[in-house]
Structures are given as structure tokens and as C-alpha cells.
């Protein structure tokens, strides 16, 4: 962690940043996620704007615990796009210079000095690229500009992957969760036309592919991610990764047992 802190801290000039939370509520239980998330952010960053992008929630279950201040909710017109949505709407609405993009089920427990980050992008968690659902990756990659280059990077032979030099390596960006600068994202949009993916991503399998494609695009445009691929490391090293649920988390939370600066719970919605 000390290496990362040295890398990200720059001068004392304050940078404008805010939070974008992707939300999908389909039960009373999942309605607790975004409320808990917002309350934690407010305790650590009382003045920062929070934007919630709602992805096709069941409105019958949505209920705010409080009347939250400086919070904007956008009902997405692209149902099922999930992890793609924060990037689409951040491109459309420049709410702040830098965005912290997280899921409603990822909870920040310690104040991270985002105002001092100087890199254009940094995923919160990563995982080595694994070519999962390769045919689907290639299909989705074909919707972007410069598709031949992207497909070549996604589908390199096993020999090329095993012998890949550092400059050709990349990791998936778990859940698309990251710190990102608006100008950097705008450059990705100009070069690759990221917004085209609203026509390619419609289901969970597609969203898994998006994690890999966005990781590739981030690394192509910011090669330092090869050396420091994420703020919090390999997602497989998260406490009970892919099995830690909200009930377990709340039990730990109530007992003041917190498993990290950012804690992720899994539901499989």
C-alpha cells in the first residue's frame, strides 16, 4: 500500500471529485445497500456530490432512509447495462473533474484522499486477464472503434499470452469500479467510442466481458497500470471473495470487524 500512496499523492492542490454509484434494487434487502453506501460516504466526505445511476430497479422496493443532501438520482434508459452505465452518464454529464465509480454493494470505510490522486485512472480491484467468454469478448470488441487492434489484444495465442512482455499485459477492472478523470475518459470515447457498447451489453455475461475490455482500454491509454494495476489489489484476495454476503458483512460491521478500506459484498443480481 505504501508504494501506491507514494505514487498517487501529489501536491496539496484540491481536485474536484465526486461519487457515482450504480444501483439495482430488487428486494427490501438490496434497498439497504445503497442507503448504507451513501451514509458511509457522507460520514467521510460530507460535502461531495453523489450521483446514483439506477439500472432497472423495482421501484416498489426503493426507499431512502433519509433525505440525503447533494445527491442526484438518474434513471437509466439502458436497462441491464450495469457496469457500463457510470461511464456513459459521466461522459454525458461532467459533474466533477474526477469520479469515484463504485457499486451500491461496495462500502468505503476509511477516508481515501482522492483529492490528491494524480493518475488519470486507477481501478479499485483487478484480476489478470483470462480470456473468459472469448467469443463474446470479440463480439463486444467489434462494436468499438479500432476493433482489429482490440480483438488482436483480446485473442492473442496461448504462446503470445504466456510470453507476453510487460507492455502487452493487462488486467480486468473488477466491476468497472475505479477512480477516473473525465478528460481521460473523454479521450477513450474519442479513440474507441465506448458509448457504442450500449448496443452490445445487455446481460450479466456481457457485463463480465466489459470488465475485461475496459481493463484493456485503460491499460492501453495509461501503461502505468501494468506496474500498479489497482488500489486494493487482486479481487480474489478480498475477504471471502465472491461469497461474502450482506448479512455476514452487517454482522461484522455491527461487531466493528471491517475487512478493508473498501468492502465488497456479493449478491449475484
d(CA 175, CA 54): 15
pTM of the predicted model as reported, rounded to 2 decimal places: 0.91
Residues 149, 152, 155: CA angle, nearest 5 degrees: 150
Q: Provide the percentage of residues in the chain whose pLDDT is more than 90.
A: 85
Give the model's pLDDT for residue 158.
43
Give the model's pLDDT for residue 14.
46
Count of CB atoms situated within 10 Å of the CB of 134: 13
Q: Where does the pLDDT of residue 166 fall: very low under 50, low under 70, confident under 90, or very high at 90 and above? A: low
Residues 66, 69, 75: CA angle, nearest 5 degrees: 85
Amino acid at each position: 500500500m505504501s508504494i501506491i500512496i507514494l505514487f498517487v499523492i501529489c501536491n496539496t492542490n484540491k481536485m474536484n471529485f465526486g461519487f457515482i454509484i450504480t444501483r439495482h434494487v430488487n428486494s427490501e434487502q438490496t434497498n439497504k445497500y445503497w442507503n448504507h453506501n451513501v451514509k458511509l460516504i457522507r460520514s467521510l466526505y460530507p460535502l461531495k456530490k453523489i450521483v446514483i445511476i439506477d439500472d432497472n430497479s423495482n421501484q416498489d422496493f426503493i426507499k431512502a432512509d433519509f433525505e440525503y443532501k447533494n445527491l442526484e438520482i438518474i434513471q437509466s434508459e439502458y436497462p441491464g447495462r450495469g457496469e457500463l452505465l457510470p461511464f456513459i452518464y459521466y461522459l454525458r454529464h461532467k459533474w466533477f473533474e474526477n469520479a469515484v465509480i463504485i457499486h451500491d454493494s461496495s462500502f468505503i470505510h476509511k477516508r481515501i484522499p482522492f483529492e490528491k490522486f494524480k493518475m488519470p485512472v486507477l481501478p479499485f480491484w483487478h484480476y489478470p486477464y483470462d480470456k473468459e467468454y472469448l467469443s463474446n469478448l470479440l463480439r463486444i470488441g467489434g462494436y468499438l472503434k479500432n476493433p482489429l487492434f482490440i480483438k488482436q489484444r483480446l485473442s492473442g495465442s496461448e504462446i503470445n499470452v504466456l510470453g507476453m512482455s510487460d507492455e502487452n499485459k493487462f488486467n480486468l477492472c473488477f466491476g468497472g469500479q475505479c477512480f477516473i478523470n473525465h478528460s481521460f475518459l473523454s479521450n477513450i470515447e474519442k479513440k474507441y467510442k465506448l458509448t457504442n457498447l450500449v448496443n452490445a451489453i445487455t446481460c450479466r455475461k456481457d457485463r463480465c466481458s466489459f470488465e475485461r475490455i475496459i481493463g484493456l482500454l485503460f491499460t492501453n491509454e495509461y501503461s502505468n497500470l501494468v506496474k500498479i494495476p489497482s488500489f486494493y489489489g487482486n479481487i480474489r484476495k478480498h475477504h471471502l471473495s465472491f461469497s461474502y454476503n450482506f448479512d455476514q458483512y452487517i454482522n461484522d460491521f455491527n461487531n466493528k470487524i471491517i475487512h478493508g478500506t473498501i468492502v465488497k459484498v456479493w449478491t449475484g443480481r
